[in-house]
């Protein structure tokens, strides 16, 4: 079978890398992909991003399955377009993708279906938002209502910081945030204490099959300091998700979400990612939903997946295949840990074009997944914020960490930003 993966990041490199190991897969095309993807055997990149162009290409090239990596094509309706032409694609429809693309939608959804989340209010008027912050005090969290690549959230430790965030997010156009409606809105919510975990499932209607758990590192700097980013590193499994918490997340979050989507008339098929905050007393609250896999969480998760990903995704897209939850999925017992190498200036104004050197060859225990890389002649150069994700397996978190960092230390590009403490919470346990 020929498979198409849509996207260009480390997550898509990992999805494509895993899919090529399937005995049923002949070739994986990644659109638009990146320079690292085009280096791999059985992987080919395509310079396409437009929804209709992708659908036409998939039809003309007999693509058996399309997998969508990022949120933007989902929010643009790529799944609706493919399905309308009878093509098999894994991901939620445009309507279902609102669970991620609009914070206001997802917060109202959680309220309606009794899924535990931080208390919140939505504002269009700056005056009212400022008054609310003054009444609530800090710490408090300000979120833009629209896709912002993980950068539309400010966890304000002071009231002043919250006021600044409101003014920035309610100003049109120059924020880089894709507002879901004409007028910008902010969601202001209660600050939650606890430890975060990324909980992802493969969903088909009311059926959900949980993937391995993971933990991301959202802040730019060691010790969870600095601005929020798309994620600076991740590991799997996340020890904070004990078997008891796992069962409760399925019962209290995942199942009510799938039921709620069904009863609201927008059944959900695709990866569903619940970003959780687990309080010191074991309370579970949903910080956000994503309608896709996490980046960089996908990289360590898929390094631990021993079963065939294609078989799983075919079961999730084929109505004739009975119960998705009966598909046998086996995980490597070892820990996988990925360290992101980001470009100079990330997550603000990113510098591009720095030459990358020292890339080690992939082996069975470590893979360098590419994200924003491109080729200039013979030279590999940086092409955006997150450049590489160096991912390694080990018997313990420390061992996986030590392999990953020994590879990171061999790789060079000017201005590289790397956190040195990925996995610190697991090590502290
Ligand atoms: P989100 O995109 O909504 O997941 O927010 C990005 C990050 O901001 C999360 O991963 C958390 O680290 C942090 N965050 C978001 N909402 C809250 C909250 N209510 N309390 C504390 N931290 C939060
Ligand atoms: N790494 C967090 C996310 O993909 O949303």
Q: To 10 degrees, what angle do helices 159-170 and 126-136 make?
A: 160
H-only helix segments in 27-102: 51-60, 71-75, 78-84, 98-101
Q: Map tokens 């046998």 to a residue.
A: 328
| pLDDT confidence of residue 177 | 53
Q: For 170-204, what is each residue's pLDDT tens digit?
A: 885 545 555 555 678 899 999 999 999 999 999 99
**1 token code pair:** 């079978």
- Ligand located closest to 199 CA: 2
Atom 2 (ligand 1) nearest CA = 150
Q: For 238-263, what is each residue's pLDDT tens digit?
A: 999 999 999 999 999 999 999 999 99
- How open is the CA angle 176-180-182, to the nearest 5 degrees? 90
Residue 308 in contact with ligand 1 by CB distance below 6 A = no
Atom 2 (ligand 2) nearest CA = 294
- Ligand located closest to 288 CA: 1
Residue 196 in contact with ligand 2 by CB distance below 6 A = no
Q: For 282-339, what is each residue's pLDDT tens digit?
A: 999 999 999 999 999 999 999 999 999 999 999 999 877 778 988 999 999 999 999 9
Question: Which of 153, 211, 295, 300 maximizes ligand 2 atoms within 8 Å of its Cβ, making it the mutation to test the pocket?
Answer: 295
């Amino acid at each position: 079978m020929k498979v198409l993966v849509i996207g260009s990041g480390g997550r898509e490199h990992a999805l494509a890398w895993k899919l090529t190991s399937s005995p049923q897969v002949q070739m994986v095309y990644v659109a638009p992909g990146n320079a690292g993807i085009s280096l791999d055997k059985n992987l080919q990149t395509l310079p396409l991003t437009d929804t209709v162009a992708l659908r036409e290409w998939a039809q003309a090239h007999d693509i058996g399955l399309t997998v969508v990596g990022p949120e933007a094509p989902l929010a643009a309706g790529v799944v609706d377009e493919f399905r309308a032409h009878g093509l098999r694609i894994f991901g939620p429809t445009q309507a279902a993708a609102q669970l991620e693309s609009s914070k206001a939608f997802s917060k109202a959804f959680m309220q309606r279906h009794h899924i535990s989340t931080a208390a919140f209010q939505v504002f269009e008027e700056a005056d009212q938002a400022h008054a609310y912050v003054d009444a609530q005090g800090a710490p408090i969290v300000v979120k833009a209502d629209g896709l912002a690549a993980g950068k539309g959230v400010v966890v304000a430790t002071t009231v002043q910081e919250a006021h600044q965030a409101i003014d920035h997010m309610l100003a049109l156009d120059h924020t880089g945030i894709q507002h879901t409606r004409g007028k910008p809105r902010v969601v202001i919510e209660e600050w939650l204490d606890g430890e975060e975990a990324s909980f992802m499932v493969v969903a088909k209607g009311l059926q959900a099959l949980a993937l391995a758990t993971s933990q991301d590192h959202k802040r730019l700097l060691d010790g969870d300091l600095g601005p929020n980013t798309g994620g600076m590193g991740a590991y799997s499994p996340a020890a904070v998700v004990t078997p008891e918490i796992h069962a409760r997340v399925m019962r209290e979050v995942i199942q009510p979400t799938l039921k709620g989507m069904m009863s609201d008339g927008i059944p959900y098929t695709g990866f569903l990612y619940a970003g959780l905050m687990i309080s010191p007393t074991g309370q579970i609250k949903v910080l956000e939903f994503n309608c896709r896999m996490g980046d960089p969480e996908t990289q360590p998760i898929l390094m631990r997946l021993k079963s065939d990903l294609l078989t799983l995704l075919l079961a999730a897209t084929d109505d004739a295949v009975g119960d998705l939850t009966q598909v046998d999925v086996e995980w490597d017992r070892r820990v996988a840990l990925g360290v992101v190498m980001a470009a100079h200036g990330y997550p603000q104004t990113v510098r591009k074009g720095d030459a990358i050197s020292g890339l080690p060859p992939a082996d069975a225990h470590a893979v360098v997944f590419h994200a924003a890389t491109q080729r200039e002649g013979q030279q590999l150069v940086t092409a955006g914020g997150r450049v590489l994700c160096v991912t390694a397996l080990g018997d313990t978190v420390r061992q996986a960490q030590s392999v990953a960092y020994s590879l990171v230390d061999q790789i060079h590009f000017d201005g590289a930003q790397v956190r040195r403490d990925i996995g610190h919470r697991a090590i502290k346990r």
